[in-house]
């Protein structure tokens, strides 16, 4: 169903310049929201035989979507949609969903949920989110860990204002009964102003532009500098996006080499850079197709997966056992 929604939004974006005049879109909500994954959406255009069905479905669902706001900032084309079940944040022409707020649950069924497993394996202390966006991850984290101090960094001030108005961000800036809270900061995460005395217990990195991981995240020096912001035994957990390298040789596509097909260092430049920065100190996992096929990375020694699992709710306890160690590719 999400492919229908994305097709509809793509058609709208390509034909109407002033989206602020629009009030309703078509399509029901769902729980699969890949970030930086162009494959999911480009595949829509390869199914021309179903075009008539899609147009019919879009028309029949047109009353289910409403545009709450549409504004252009220095960094993003911000669109927030409202559906009967969710609110959705779009930021660029890729139409990738950058944040989601379900009206009945904080769980998303996508990579944001994975970030909520990080507090179980880091020291006590402030935990940063670089690339706060609409604060999807923060909603679930404060629900599961109500004493957390989250420090969110976002470069787009207008996006933060819209998230406060439409995505419940302002609620997270109030202390929970357990004392937890989200502190929001506007600024560039690559500047010195982001560092804090004593360091962060953990840093969640979720930085994208135009549907792609920021180029800085594919550089070893970026990770070495970011690691300096952590307290002892602190960790980075990173959304590395989708595969950034495809099997291009025809023989590889027909009968791919197992190591190339499964090796994240061959397929994802961000994980490759991380593993070069921290040899034998990076773990990775790839989410299933139903959750967007994003790669995630975790720095530090591979945790005891059984102990980690036991500290989490059922929704996360099995998925953390999918983490595995990686080693850097030869230079």
Which CATH number do you get for residue 212?
3.40.50.150
Q: Do 118 and 206 fall within a single domain?
A: yes
pLDDT value of residue 38: 36
- Domain co-membership, 161 together with 280: yes
Closest by alpha carbon to 138, among 196, 206, 197, 231?
A: 206
Same domain, 137 and 95: no
Q: Last residue of a domain, which of 51, 81, 102?
A: 102
Q: Is 226 helix (H, G, I), strand (E, B) or coil?
A: helix
Looking at the DSSP assignment, which residues form a beta bridge with residue 82? Answer: 66, 87
C-alpha 31/C-alpha 292 separation (Å) is 10
161, 234 contact by CB (below 8 A): no
Structural contact between residues 295 and 238, judged by C-beta atoms closer than 8 angstroms: no
Residues 149 and 93 in one domain: no
Residue 248 lies in a domain: yes
- Decide which of 232 and 55 is more confident: 232
DSSP β-ladder status, 65-72 and 230-241: unpaired
pLDDT exceeds cutoff 80 at 20: no
Q: Are 130 and 207 in contact (CB under 8 A)?
A: yes
Single residue among 51, 73, 102 that ends a domain in this structure? 102
Together in a domain, 218 and 136: yes
CA distance 145 to 148: 6
**pLDDT at residue 246 greater than cutoff 80:** no
Query: Do strands 200-205 and 230-241 pair parallel, antiparallel, or not at all (unpaired)?
Result: parallel
- Looking at 102, 127, 142, the residue that finishes a domain is 102
Judgement on whether residues 96 and 168 belong to the same structural domain of the protein: no
Question: Is the domain of 90 the same as that of 195?
Answer: no
Distance spanning both ends of the chain, measured CA to CA: 43
Q: Is 0.85 surpassed by the pTM of this model?
A: no
Q: How do residues 178-222 score in pLDDT, each as one tens digit?
A: 999 999 999 999 999 999 999 999 999 999 988 889 999 999 999
The answer on 312 and 256 residing in a single domain is yes
User: Does 199 lie in the same domain as 173?
Assistant: yes
Residues 177 and 312 in one domain: yes
Question: What is the pLDDT of the chain when averaged over all its residues?
Answer: 80
331 falls within a domain: no
The per-residue pLDDT for 262 is 58
Is the alpha carbon torsion for 140, 180, 235, 214 positive or negative?
Answer: positive
116: left (phi > 0), else alpha (psi -120 to 50), else beta? alpha
250: in domain: yes
Residue numbers of the domain that contains 186: 111-326
Summarize pLDDT for 151-180 with one digit per residue, the tens: 999 999 999 999 999 999 999 999 999 999
For the cut 60, the answer to whether the pLDDT of residue 316 exceeds it is yes
Q: How far is CA 80 from CA 12, 77, 166, 321, in A?
A: 14, 10, 8, 35
- 128 and 268 part of one domain: yes
280 and 169 within one domain: yes
Is 192 within a domain?
Answer: yes
Query: Is 135 domain-assigned?
Result: yes
Domain total in the chain: 2
Residue 221 lies in a domain: yes
């Amino acid at each position: 169903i999400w492919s229908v929604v994305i097709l509809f939004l793509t058609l709208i974006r390509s034909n109407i310049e002033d989206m602020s005049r629009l009030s309703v879109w078509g399509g029901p909500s769902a729980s699969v929201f890949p970030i930086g994954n162009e494959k999911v959406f480009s595949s829509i255009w390869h199914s021309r035989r179903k075009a008539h069905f899609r147009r019919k479905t879009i028309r029949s669902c047109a009353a289910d979507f409403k545009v709450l706001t549409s504004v252009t900032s220095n960094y993003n084309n911000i669109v927030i949609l409202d559906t009967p079940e969710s609110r959705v944040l779009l930021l660029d022409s890729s139409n990738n969903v950058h944040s989601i707020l379900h009206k009945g649950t904080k769980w998303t069924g996508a990579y944001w949920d994975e970030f909520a497993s990080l507090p179980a394996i880091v020291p006590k202390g402030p935990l940063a989110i670089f690339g706060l966006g609409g604060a999807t991850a923060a909603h679930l984290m404060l629900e599961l860990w109500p004493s957390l101090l989250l420090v969110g960094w976002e470069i787009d001030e207008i996006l933060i204002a819209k998230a406060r108005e439409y995505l419940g961000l302002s609620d997270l800036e109030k202390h929970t009964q357990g004392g937890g809270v989200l502190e929001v900061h506007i600024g560039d995460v690559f500047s010195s102003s982001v560092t804090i005395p004593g360091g962060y217990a953990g840093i969640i990195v979720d930085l994208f532009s135009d549907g792609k991981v920021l180029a800085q995240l594919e550089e070893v020096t970026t990770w070495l500098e970011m690691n300096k912001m952590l307290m002892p035994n602190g960790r980075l957990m990173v959304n590395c996006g989708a595969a950034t390298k495809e099997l291009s040789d025809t023989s590889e596509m027909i009968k791919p080499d197992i190591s190339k097909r499964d090796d994240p260092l061959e397929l994802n430049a961000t994980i490759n850079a991380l593993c070069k920065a921290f040899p034998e100190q990076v773990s990775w996992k790839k989410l299933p197709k139903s959750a967007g096929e994003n790669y995630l990375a975790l720095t530090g020694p591979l945790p005891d997966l059984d102990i980690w699992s036991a500290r989490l709710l059922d929704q996360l306890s099995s998925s953390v056992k999918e983490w595995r160690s990686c080693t850097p590719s030869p230079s």
